[in-house]
């Protein structure tokens, strides 16, 4: 049985909640080796850069991967060298996100919860509404485009802010191949994404 099938059975038959599904997914990530993570980062970056949504973007809201997350650092640097304006999140005390400009790896600082954030000027939580594409972290996405995050609610606020502003950037989640699953538990505030990029390819959702 594949991990996709295992997760689908777990969620559907046993009504596992988001907390338990997160535990399963994080446990699987913890077993990845540094070589696994590095190889996935190279392939993931290549796939992402082939997206027309990124090829034509002037401003991209992204994030710095940490630990065994699908790697974004090479992607960030390539976007910067292409003169794309890259916004990175800054975690606020209430779990909302402010934003700052990515100016290179030498301008990242270690912050709360082990995150890496940009130094320099803060642009305000509303800066994300000017992005042409938003790269979202996550743990899984299902066939409806519903994303499972880590549970802090930060990116739920970002997606809600985009909706309130009438902004419609490409919403793209970056995952490992076996984190595209049959189903994740759904809540009323969940927002579907437009596409998922994995080392193995791209899947789009919606009309």
For 76, half-sphere exposure in the C-beta direction (CA atoms, 13 angstrom radius) is 25
- How far apart CA 51 and CA 47 sit, in angstroms, is 7
Point out the annotated binding site: 18-22, 64, 69, 147-155
**Cβ atoms 147, 140 nearer than 8 A:** yes
132 backbone dihedrals φ, ψ, rounded to 5°:
-85, -25
Enumerate helices (H) and strands (E) in the chain, giving the number of each.
Answer: 6, 11
Q: Which 3 state secondary structure label does DSSP give 64? A: coil
| Residue 98 β-bridge partners | 90
Torsional class of 164: left (φ above 0), alpha (ψ -120 to 50), beta (otherwise): alpha
Residue ranges for the known binding site for substrate are: 64, 69
Which of 90, 88, 86, 97 lies closest to 60 in space, CA to CA?
A: 86
Residue stretches of the annotated binding site for ATP: 18-22, 147-155
The C-alpha atoms of residue 108 and residue 116 are separated, in whole angstroms, by 6
Q: What pairing do the DSSP bridges indicate for beta strands 59-61 and 133-136?
A: parallel
Token readout for 57 is: 């973007």
């Amino acid at each position: 049985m594949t991990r996709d099938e295992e997760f689908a059975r777990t969620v559907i038959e046993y009504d596992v909640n988001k907390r338990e599904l997160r535990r399963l997914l994080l446990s699987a990530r913890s077993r990845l080796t540094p070589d696994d993570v590095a190889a996935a980062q190279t392939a993931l970056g290549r796939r992402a850069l082939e997206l027309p949504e990124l090829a034509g973007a002037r401003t991209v809201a992204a994030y710095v991967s940490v630990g065994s997350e699908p790697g974004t650092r090479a992607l960030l640097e390539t976007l910067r060298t292409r003169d794309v304006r890259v916004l990175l999140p800054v975690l606020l005390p209430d779990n909302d996100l402010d934003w700052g400009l990515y100016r290179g790896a030498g301008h990242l600082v270690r912050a709360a919860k082990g995150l890496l954030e940009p130094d320099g000027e803060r642009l305000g939580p509303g800066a994300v509404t000017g992005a042409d594409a938003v790269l979202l972290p996550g743990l899984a996405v299902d066939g409806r485009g519903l994303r499972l995050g880590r549970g802090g609610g930060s990116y739920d606020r970002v997606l809600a802010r985009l909706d309130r502003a009438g902004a419609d950037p490409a919403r793209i989640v970056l995952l490992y191949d076996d984190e595209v699953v049959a189903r994740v538990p759904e809540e009323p505030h969940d927002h579907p994404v437009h596409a998922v990029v994995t080392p193995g390819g791209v899947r789009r959702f919606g009309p």
